[in-house]
Amino acid sequence: MTVFNNTYLVMRHGQSQANVADIVVSDPAIGCEQYGLSPLGEQQAKTAAAQYQGAPITHIFASDFKRTKETAAIVADALNMSEPKYDIRLRERYFGEWEGKTSAAYEQVWAKDALTADNNENGVESTAQVRARTLNLINALEVKYQGEVILLVAHGDILQILATVFNDLPPNQHRTLPHHETGELKLLVKQGDDVPF
């Protein structure tokens, strides 16, 4: 059982140019430099910040992909915060040979995920690997901070896989959880909550 020292919020990046183009962009060599936010994505980030009603956010950590960096920067600016910090443990799940393919590839990967948490078929990063690296970040933040409100800005699959921890599910059951929409900001866990992991 883990009792949390901090409150964690999670946000998926706003609509990206990759979403509009309907392609998978998971390779850091591409995603960190290209495919930032669409105009709608920029508006989604501004709206999420404007509508946030919770305790003041004290830290923002984001994936270093262009779409997440832009989202985090918009939120930080809207909330008059300092620059976000970037962490590779929040990067997009790597989709291997599906890179550059249409988003229909996701359904094929998710079907394989449902069979095992160790799905690495076609070079895909498994749900077990994703969950391990995102939890590694949270554990590090728990050691470093106390009583903070921390926003994690990342990607759809990453956030749904991380959410399995807080819903007592194996990581490969991430698609049984509600879809995390672009630009959506929500609570992951509150300070003082205990989670059985």
Residue 73 lies in a domain: yes
Which pLDDT value is given to residue 17?
98
pLDDT above 70 for 49: yes
Q: What is the CATH number of the domain that holds 148?
A: 3.40.50.1240
What's the whole-model pTM score?
Answer: 0.97
3-state SS, the chain, equals CEECCCEEEEEECCCEHHHHHCECCCCHHHHCCCCCECHHHHHHHHHHHHHCCCCCCCEEEECCCHHHHHHHHHHHHHCCCCCCEECHHHCCCCCHHHCCCECHHHHHHHHHHCCCCCCCHHHCCCHHHHHHHHHHHHHHHHHHCCCCEEEEEECHHHHHHHHHHHCCCCHHHHHHCCCCCCCCEEEEECCCCEECC
Which pLDDT value is given to residue 195?
84
Number of domains in the chain: 1
Supply the range of the domain harboring residue 40.
2-16+32-92+129-191
